[in-house]
Amino acid sequence: MVRFQHFEVERWMEAYEFTPGVLNIAETCVESVSIDQLAQLSGDKGELPPRTSTVLIYGAIRGSSTLRETISTLYEGEQIAPENVIITQGAIAANFLAFYSLIEPEDHVICVYPTYQQLYSVPESLGAEVSLWRLKPEQGFVPDMDELEKLAKANTKMIVINNPNNPTGVPIPRDVVYKIVDFAKARGIMILSDEVYRPLFHDGLEDNADMPPSVADLGYDKAIVTGSLSKAYSLGGIRVGWIASGDKAIVERLVEARHYVTISVSQLDDQVASYALSPAVRGALMKRNIQQAKHNADMLKAFVEAHSSVCSWVAPTAGTTAFIQFHVGGKPVDDVAFCRDVLDKTKVLLVPGSRCFGHDQDFAGYVRVGFVGSTAVLEEALQKLGVYVRQHLGQ
């Protein structure tokens, strides 16, 4: 039997996210939308997906050509053609597939940390040795290339990054992405880049010289990217994600493994995803989502500044999450007890960092805040959290 660790963040969310009256600021999706809202946002008056006349055969095994073609246009250059894209049930299935099909027990994998636990626990469960590439607040949570040099071994098979990062909300800067690709290329190491929060860069998508490239845009065929409709595109409920690589042999290997778990993704979901990513709808949706991310990030910044004697952070500039450390008298709070007590007394749901993103006491005192859900919920939650913090942490 494969041995695997508990997936702590998913367990936490399952236990608490439907608490009656909850003010959920633990969620990582930009406030979710309906198909009607997509049409309203884009001003589209045409027929909405899914088409009820569709006969519900399995449909295209790798995903419809429309969807794969649309996803290929999200990447620059020619490396990612429609044939290089495979549709999956969310990025969670895409990430799993990458590890299941490419990692063996004798391999070594390097993974940024903190990040979504799946990215290091799954390769570990397959028997690989995993080294955690620690992101440090004093370095602005930016991965340190000297550290990577120290972690790499002769059998390093894959470097796993998450850009923008969950939980820090910090993107890996442009120049560092280039350096990681050069490093991997020089040694023939694969890169798996989980880019589910792309393209949610708070400074926008146009004239944003700092926006990091996708690793799929840098001409390295051993780069593999995963993406999703759940986060930046507000459609977690359709469970559509993808995996893409410029290397046809990697793509075929992924497809061979995928046959065992997927057959195909729902045709109805595929149609909704194709609609959401069509240029007119995607443009309007991303405009709304980036505005909301920026606005809500400013609200969170005001909270952190107002309570700076008990909390500190690296301000997020991308994605939907922030990693905030709460401390009293210079000592980190017990974040699990803190999150439970906050939920109990205020109904505000947070995620404890040491439990859900760290081993042992790593990231003690940290909580993850998902701040790009409803602005009204964030406002009420921060107001209640402020009262709690003043009463219980002595701010």
Ligand X SMILES: Cc1ncc(COP(=O)(O)O)c(C=O)c1O
* Interatomic CA distance for residues 299 and 135, integer angstroms: 25
| Exposed e or buried b per residue across 50-81, where buried means at least 16 C-beta atoms within 10 angstroms of its C-beta | beeeeeeeebbebbbebbbbbbbebbeeebbe
- Least separation in angstroms between CB 238 and ligand X: 10
Q: Which is nearer to ligand X, 91 or 389 (CB)?
A: 91
For ligand X, the closer of residues 307 and 316 by Cβ is 316
Give the N- to C-terminal CA distance of the chain in Å, as an integer. 50
Query: Chain centroid to CA 306: how far?
Result: 28
Residue 395 beta carbon to ligand X: minimum distance, rounded to whole angstroms? 30
- Indicate the DSSP class of residue 142: P
Q: Which is nearer to ligand X, 173 or 236 (CB)?
A: 236
CB 168 within 8 A of CB 363: no
| CB nearer ligand X, residue 27 or residue 217 | 27
Tokens for 378, please give them. Answer: 């964030």
Nearer to ligand X, 113 or 116 (CB): 116
The amino acid present at 296, given as its one-letter code, is N
Other Cβ atoms closer than 10 A to 319: 31
The least distance separating ligand X from the CB of residue 116, rounded to whole angstroms, comes to 4
Q: Kindly state the smallest distance separating residue 269's Cβ from ligand X, in Å.
A: 12
In DSSP terms, which residues pair with 245 in a beta bridge?
A: 224
Q: Using CA atoms, how far apart are residues 71 and 74, in angstroms rounded to an integer?
A: 5
Q: Closer to ligand X at the Cβ: 9 or 181?
A: 9
Nearest distance from C-beta of residue 277 to ligand X, angstroms: 14
Parallel, antiparallel or unpaired: strands 85-88 and 241-245: antiparallel
- The DSSP result for 268-325, as a single string, is HHHHHHHHHHSHHHHHHHHHHHHHHHHHHHHHHHHHHHHTTTTEEE----BSSEEEEE
Residue 369 burial class via C-beta count within 10 angstroms: exposed 0-12, middle 13-18, buried 19 and up: buried
Q: Which is nearer to ligand X, 94 or 389 (CB)?
A: 94
The least CB distance from residue 291 to ligand X, in Å, is 22
Answer whether 265's CB lies under 8 Å from 87's CB. yes
Nearer to ligand X, 266 or 346 (CB): 266
User: Which residues make Cβ contacts (< 8 Å) with residue 62, sequence separation at least 6?
Assistant: 68, 85, 86, 87, 255, 264
Q: Where does this chain bind ligand X (CB under 6 A)?
A: 28, 90-92, 95, 116, 162, 166, 194, 196, 228, 230, 236, 241
| Residue 341 Cβ vs ligand X, minimum distance, rounded to whole Å | 24
Whether 127 contacts 153, CB under 8 Å: no
Tell me the closest approach of the beta carbon of residue 386 to ligand X, in angstroms.
26
Minimum distance, C-beta of residue 307 to ligand X, in the bound complex (Å)? 26
Cα distances (angstroms) measured from residue 267 to each of 235, 259, 272, 273, 279: 15, 16, 9, 10, 20
Task: Rank residues 166 and 346 by Cβ distance to ligand X and give the closer one.
Answer: 166
Residue nearest to ligand X as judged by C-beta position: 90
In angstroms, what is the minimal distance from the CB of 228 to ligand X?
3
Shorter beta-carbon distance to ligand X: residue 310 or 324: 324
Nearest to 371 by CA among 349, 343, 338, 392: 349
